[in-house]
């Protein structure tokens, strides 16, 4: 984790939080049109609630990280591609990451 810019995402119940540092690799939208950010896996760190974090395989070829208490999904991790997809569009880094084209998002 660097000392540069960072962001924090917390589940609805507050039991689990994740920290991300630096800038996202890219910004895009999920299949429902919600804004997402693509982060390198090594930029993600558990801030609190490691014992409440459930990491389980998903149908996308990666893992889903969710809170055991409120069942909120915090991110989708793809070990092979070495990135994580998180909900949201970090406003302070929007100028630093390229937008992903629809065809590139489908490949990821």
Q: Is 30 helix (H, G, I), strand (E, B) or coil?
A: coil
pLDDT tens per residue across span 78-96? 988 899 998 876 654 444 3
pLDDT at 105: 47
pLDDT tens per residue across span 30-82? 888 888 899 999 999 999 999 999 999 988 789 999 999 999 999 999 988 89
Q: Is 89 helix (H, G, I), strand (E, B) or coil?
A: coil
pLDDT reading at 23 higher than 90: no
| Strand residues in the chain grouped as ranges (E) | 6-10, 17-21, 26-29, 35-40, 44-48, 53-57, 63-67, 73-78, 83-87
């Amino acid at each position: 984790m660097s000392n540069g810019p960072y962001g924090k995402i917390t589940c609805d119940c507050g039991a689990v939080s994740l920290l991300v540092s630096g800038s996202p690799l890219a910004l895009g939208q999920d299949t429902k049109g919600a804004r997402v950010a693509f982060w390198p896996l090594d930029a993600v760190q558990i801030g609190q609630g490691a014992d409440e974090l459930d990491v389980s395989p998903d149908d996308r070829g990666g893992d889903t990280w969710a809170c055991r208490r409120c069942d909120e999904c915090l991110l989708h991790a793809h070990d092979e591609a070495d990135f994580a997809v998180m909900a949201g569009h970090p406003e302070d880094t929007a100028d630093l990451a390229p937008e992903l084209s629809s065809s590139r998002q489908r490949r990821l």
